[in-house]
Structure formats: structure tokens, C-alpha cells
Amino acid sequence: MGFFADLKTKREAKKAQRIYQLELAEWDRENKVLAQALEIFEGAAKGDEPDDTSLVQKKGELVLWVGNGIYHEAGRTPSRYVGGSTGFSIPVVAGIRFRVGSFKGQVVPGEKMYSLKKELTVNDLEKKGEKFRPYRSVVAWYCWRALN
């Protein structure tokens, strides 16, 4: 094999090694999570109580998992660029390029998101839902799907 063929083979081998290391690390993380879950469920099957007793439980209830949640409310949807660019880029060294050209366009801000001023009560929700009768369950399903 020639010099360039050897160089290309070495590059491919390094790339394959990096991919393997990333996949192995991801598999290792997932394996640890699954091992913890298995340990929790095995303990629950034996009737073991969790160490965390800060939750109020009814008789016979068992805590399998406790996590912390973060509430995040965004004010706008993500911004996007509208327009295009002209020019070309010149490779300098591996992974670094010199770009020549210009960008013609502008940033379009995302849409403003609105939230409720106060939390809805069951009576308020029933009043607002009357205009959708008899399709209230369909509207609720669409709203639920829009959140995901």
C-alpha cells in the first residue's frame, strides 16, 4: 500500500476507535441507570422501604423513584435566520476553514408565548369548555398533544 492509502487507513481506524469509545460510554451510562432501576424494583418486590421518608404516603404505598424537577417558562419560541449567504470557504488545516463571503438576511424573533394570569379552577374550565361541547375531549386531546 502507498503512503496515502496508509494515511487514509489510519484516519479511518482512529475515527472508528472514537465512535467505539463514545458508544461504549453511552452503553455504560445506560447500564448503570438500568442497574439502579433493577435494584429499586427488586427492593420494592421484597417490601423494602426507601431511605427518603420526606414523602407522605398512604398505607401500602411504596416510593420507587424520587427526582427533582425544574420549572422553566420560556418567553418566546426560538429565533431563526431568514436569508442566505454567498461565498466559499477554504480549508486551512484539519477542522479549520477560512470563510470568504457575506450573509444576507436577518434574525426573526420567535413568537411571544402567553401564560395564564391565574390558575384555572374546575368551574372556570367547565365554563370555558361549554362552547366546545360535544367535542371537549377531542379539544383536550389536541391541547395535550400540542404540549408534547
Q: Model-level pTM?
A: 0.34
* Confidence check: pLDDT of 148 > 70: no
Cβ proximity of 55 and 66 under 8 Å: yes
**Taking every pair of C-alpha atoms in the chain, what is the biggest distance, in angstroms?**
80
Give the residue-averaged pLDDT of 1-29: 91
Cα torsion 134, 136, 139, 145 to 10°: value is -130
Which residue's C-alpha cell is 470563510?
99
Beta 80-93 vs 96-108: how paired, if at all?
antiparallel
Q: Per-domain residue ranges for the chain? A: 1-68
Angle at 95 between CA 90 and CA 97, to 5 degrees: 20
pLDDT, tens only, 56-102: 677 777 666 666 666 666 677 777 878 877 788 888 888 888 888 87
pLDDT at residue 137, as a whole number: 82
Q: Which of 17-21, 35-39, 100-104, 138-142 has the highest mean pLDDT?
A: 17-21
* Confidence check: pLDDT of 14 > 90: yes
